Chains A and B, each alone.
Chain A
Amino acid sequence: MEANSTMSQLMRWRLLGKELRQLWPIFGAMPLAFIGFLAMIFAMGQLFWGIGLPPWQLAYQLPGVVFAIGAASLLVCQEKEQFTLRWLAALPIPAHEIIRAKFWAGAIGVVVVWLGSILISLALHTWFPIDHSLSQWVLCLVINLYILLAGFAMGWRFESTFAALIVLLVVAFLPGAVTQVFSLLWDSLGAGTIRSVPFDTSTGLVLWLSYLAFGSVAIYLLHRWGRQALSATPTYASESIRPWLPYRVSAQVSTAAGLMSPASALTWQVLRQNRWALVSIGLLFATSFVQFALKGPELSVLGIAMLAASCLGVSTFAGDSHRSQVRFLADRGISRWQVWWSRQLVPFSMLSLYGLVAVVAAIFVYGQQLPTISMIGQLILIGLAHLLLVYSLSQWLGQQIQGPVLAAVLVPPIAIGAVGLVGYFLDALGIHPLFMLLIAVAPLSGTAIAMSAWMDRTLGFRSAIRQLSAAGLLLLLGGVVVAWPTLLPQQIDSQIAADMRALSVSLATEQAPKFGYPDDYRYDIIDMTELEETFNAAAKISPLFAMQNLRRLQRNLAGSDRAIKMDFYRLDGQPLETFAEYVPQHEMPASERRALFNEIIRTYLRMARGLRLSTRLVEQETADLAEIWLLRQVMAANNSELFEDELYNEVVAYLANEEARQLSRRQALAEIGLRLESKPISIWDLQDYSFEFEVSGIYFPFLPDWTAASANANRKRKTVELLEKLWVLSELVNDQQHAILKSLAENQQATETLYGIGSLGHYFRVDDAAEVMPDRRVGQGSLGLPGQQWRAGWELQAKQLELRGISPSDQPIHDSLGDSK
């Protein structure tokens, strides 16, 4: 009796030990899974910026879920498929002992991983902090144990791992779904607002009870189905009980049909065999549909798309790896390339189709919001690049991990996390995300190179070296050809740079008024906006008040070292010059009104002249608007009586001098070019990226979601591109400029150029000064583009003006208020 008891104890411990030993691969893979989740959250965390911390707790808690699923798969499903369960059942071990040993091994593993997660979360709290809540962690343990129980139950019930995992995916969410339904009902009954679980007592209680209830059911089913599985060999008849499967293998192929080509045969074989792939493809398209229905990107849906792409990748070689079935093809000398292509054909086709569907969906949903189709296309391509990399990396990992069950559980977090990290590093280095398409080729080439060894089931160190070498070479070549140029500091086109150097700027620099850096230009705008908005009212209330404001303006111009950014157009689009209409004759004597008008004209003329002497491009642009405004005053019929003849002719002569104006603009551009050449902008210079980046008034604002290196590199690149376009623009005549201006307008959102000349809309060109109306797009908040007014129609109009009776003289500007520079 005692001996029997000792034997029983020994048997239990050895059985438990054997089950735990079987879990070594997944224990060993847990660090990789954790790193994968961490990388995934880290990369996705950029998307959470500004609304709180990234959900690091997922990185700590999800490995436990992966372990639970993996443990159930390895201990039951894999044993079934390898027929070791039959051997175990043939031993003189009671069925319940086997079931219990597996359960306890899985449970111990879950607890160990859970404890490990807690310890790691504490150790890494400084870098990846979470709210350590006992109830959260206990709930996490409960969920993992529930998934383990459900996984065991499904594993005992179903013949194939595929069926078990599919059903498990549904069953795992049942308690949460029940809780959610309860929560919705609770709210619909008006019992309260939607509350988050588990902190709320009612829904939290329901959640706990759900897990308890479903867990109890799972325990019962686990024992029942386990005994059934261990007591009888599954028969052929059990195969027919599958009406509830989401996918059924298609009807038997008639082999009376003609023979297929080798490629067709291999494709047929893949389609018949790879049910995981078909489910993954279905899931992928379902996410597209959901995105379309939601009319906006949803992180969880994008995550599911990534998961589907990963499963698609893992399943590429999984079916053939199962029991080394691919040896059938290897034994017959089937071409490796044919086998490889047949495995890629369906997933690639589906991914391409998915891309097409995504484009169509995006156009329908976002077409009105995004400015251009090319932008939509670029976004879609970037998304597809991510999916393709997830797919190819998962495929490579799935090929290397020759156990399909282990691969299915471990590869998705590792692959998705790795892709997230790749995206982050590309961003950090300022490399365009489309480079991911090239990176995706590397794992694919690895799988192709490994085909011989994989088919012969001789994957090993040598094969790994060959793959890594090929992938490394590919990435190196791709990096040199594609990515390296983006890392190099971009220089101005050599011809343009030479032209700029030839154009001397020293004279202009000496004579330019000292307008300082417009760091507080917004204050000036606010002042001027106040002036603008209140001027009309002030003029109505008191011409003296209007005069005082004008004096303030002149003082600012005379004595301040700040550049003035003036809104020449009010926010409602009406030009400022209607002030003349707002100073009605009955409120001011005619002579005073005339004097006021001419003072303002002189002020603007002086301002325009001064701005033309500056080599800052923003001041050249301001001068354009000042001159357009002056032109409007000259052209306005109701101003003709207000104008002094001498002043009129002075203004007309000034406005007609197109050559001087053009020279000033090009001098300013040359100045920018020289400063860019001399400004050391390094992608490794991390100090400047958080501040606005300014070159001659062209501002590239703070980009919070960009890393330092990429921000600096991109800003330099964009400035050079802008400068080169402006240089070319300045050489063209009016009719030839539209293409470049349109290109500048389309790129403005992408380049995020901030150009401080007022809220004029991003493509606004004055071809007729008499009919100026800014092209304002509501809500865009974009500021003026450079070069919009260069050699436009208004300059031609200015040249066609006629002087009045007396000849104009180039007299010094008179300032009636006595202020002078």
Chain B
Amino acid sequence: MIEHATNLVLETQQLGVSFPGCQALEKVNLQVHKGTVFALLGENGAGKTTLIRILTGFLQPTTGNCSVLGLNPVRDAVAIRRRVGYVSDAPAMYDWMRVDEIGWFAASFYSDGYLERYREMIAGYEVPTDRKIRHLSKGQRAKVALALALAHDPELLILDEPTSGLDPLVRREFLESLLERVADGRTVLLSSHQINEVERVADQVAILHQGKVCLVDSVQNLRESFVELTIGLADPLVTLPEFESPAEVFRTQVNGRQHRLVVRDLSPQQLEQVKSWQGVEHVASHATTLEDVFAACLRGRPSSQHSARS
């Protein structure tokens, strides 16, 4: 079981954003506790970046409310940004500045120690310090952006696709550093497509689909509560009965006489029951990965339900 701090660092209640012709976010309820890594997963256009922009005060919600570090992002956006380390999906930097210059410039706005920590990270990332930002590769820019965001040791890190463009070694080091920060009591909210990385570092995951939260739970629970069932049928025309609560089918794939289901909270009794269904020849259950869960959430269900399990 993951031990969670009692303090809430970030909370949203019925948060929604609508644009003309589009409901970008709808009734999003999230809670991020101190000292955890919270990951936002979702397909492209799910609303992850929109949610992050609301939390950092770049966008105003249409409905609902949220708080970050006890502050209201609508009123206290600047104060929030000072206290968090934010790396957007396309970090803006002054192209004409050199790598060391931009750190030196940014250090003016933070307390002592920023520049040293920045230089340390840049050295660790092996980015040439005398090169202008515009002449860096995509990955190098990402490293600089990370270093700039982390150098002031913020209590909350908000990272939008932070490892995009990073080479595998640096990714590994970065993720390990995240864990160290969390161990020191820092909190991380990250949005990513790299599910295997999320699986490694995240304590809690929220899966967004079409602006709604499909699922919010700890990674551990997700692993334990989801199972993939492979049901072989004697007759492809056989219709399987509905699973009774609390079991929840997230995805169903039919391939001839074989049904593959991703099911949550399937009890052993229910599993035995499935084996005794008429027309069922064999049933196999496998553990699922987070990726399976993710795919099931996004493709398997027309509507979303979520459960919050700790």
Contact = CB atoms under 8 A, between A and B. Distances in A.
A323 B93 CA distance: 9
Contacts of A272: 96-97
- Which of A252, A272, A328, A458 has most B Cβ within 10 Å? A328
Contacts of B80: 333
Nearest to A456: B58
Interface string B72-108: 0000011111110010100111111110110111111
Interface residues of B, number: 32
A333 B94 contact: no
B81 A331 contact: yes
A237 to B, nearest CB: 11
Interface residues of A, number: 31
Nearest to B83: A333
Interface stretch (A8-16, A261-269, A646-654): A261-269
A324 interface: yes
Nearest to A263: B108
Interface string B101-135: 10111111100000100000000000000000001
B215 to A, nearest CB: 29
Contacts of A249: 96
B187 to A, nearest CB: 17
Contact of A332 (B57, B59, B96, B109): B109
A272 B97 CA distance: 9
Contact of A333 (B81, B88, B135): B81
Given A252-B98, A259-B115, A262-B108, A333 B92 contact: no
Contact of B108 (A264, A333, A336): A264
A261 B93 CA distance: 20
A259 B100 contact: no
Contact of B109 (A265, A336, A458): A265
Nearest to A235: B135
Given A255-B100, A255-B101, A261-B108, A331 B95 contact: no
A490 B109 CA distance: 55
B78 A333 contact: yes
A644 B115 CA distance: 106
Contacts of B106: 332
Interface string A323-339: 11111101111111000
Nearest to B107: A259
Contact of B81 (A255, A262, A332, A458): A332
A16 to B, nearest CB: 31
A333 B79 contact: yes
Nearest to A265: B108
Contacts of B77: 333, 452, 456
A158 to B, nearest CB: 15
B108 A328 contact: no
Nearest to B158: A331
A325 B95 contact: yes
B94 A273 contact: yes
A458 to B, nearest CB: 7
A60 B42 CA distance: 56
B82 A333 contact: yes
B92 A327 contact: yes
B78 A328 contact: no
A331 B82 contact: no
Given A333-B80, A334-B109, A328 B58 contact: no
A269 B135 CA distance: 19
Nearest to A328: B92
Contacts of B108: 259-262, 264-265
Contact of B105 (A236, A268, A336, A458): A268
Nearest to A331: B86
A324 B92 contact: yes
Interface string A221-254: 0000000000000001000000000000100110
Interface in B233-254: none
Nearest to B88: A331
A325 B92 CA distance: 5
Contact of A458 (B58, B95, B104): B58
Contacts of B105: 265, 268-269
Interface string A14-35: 0000000000000000000000
Contacts of B107: 259
Interface in A255-296: 255, 259-262, 264-265, 268-269, 272-273
B104 A255 contact: yes
Contact of B135 (A236, A324, A325, A335): A236
Nearest to A462: B60
B216 to A, nearest CB: 27
Nearest to A257: B104
Interface string B141-176: 000000000000000000000000000000000000
A446 B70 CA distance: 31
Interface in A492-528: none
A335 B94 contact: no
Contact of A335 (B78, B83, B92, B93): B78
A327 B77 CA distance: 13
B141 to A, nearest CB: 12
A259 B115 CA distance: 9
A168 B179 CA distance: 55
Interface in A317-360: 323-328, 330-336
B109 A262 contact: yes
Contacts of B81: 330-333
A331 B110 CA distance: 13
Contacts of A255: 100-101, 103-104
Contacts of A332: 81-82, 86, 106, 109
Interface string A457-497: 01000000000000000000000000000000000000000
B78 A331 contact: no
A325 B94 contact: yes
Contacts of A324: 92
Given A259-B107, A260-B108, A333-B82, A323 B95 contact: yes
A328 B88 CA distance: 10
B109 A269 contact: no
A336 B78 contact: yes
Interface in A530-581: none
Contacts of B115: 259
A332 B93 CA distance: 11
B149 to A, nearest CB: 8
Contacts of A327: 88, 92
A252 B104 CA distance: 13
Interface in A611-629: none
A253 B98 CA distance: 10
Contacts of A323: 92, 95
A323 B95 CA distance: 9
A458 B103 CA distance: 26
B92 A331 contact: yes
Contact of B94 (A262, A328, A330, A456): A328
Contacts of B92: 323-328, 330-331
A334 B94 CA distance: 15
Nearest to B152: A332
B130 to A, nearest CB: 8
B309 to A, nearest CB: 34
Contacts of B95: 323, 325
B61 to A, nearest CB: 14
Contacts of A264: 108
A17 to B, nearest CB: 27
B275 to A, nearest CB: 55
Q: What are the 7 tightest A-B residue pairs by CB atom distance, in nearest-first order?
A: A333-B81, A327-B92, A265-B108, A333-B82, A255-B104, A333-B78, A255-B100
Interface of A: 236, 249, 252-253, 255, 259-262, 264-265, 268-269, 272-273, 323-328, 330-336, 452, 456, 458
14 contacts: A260-B108, A265-B109, A324-B92, A325-B92, A325-B93, A325-B95, A328-B93, A330-B81, A331-B86, A331-B88, A332-B81, A332-B109, A333-B77, A336-B78
Given A330-B92, A333-B82, 6 more contacts: A261-B108, A273-B94, A328-B92, A331-B91, A332-B86, A333-B80
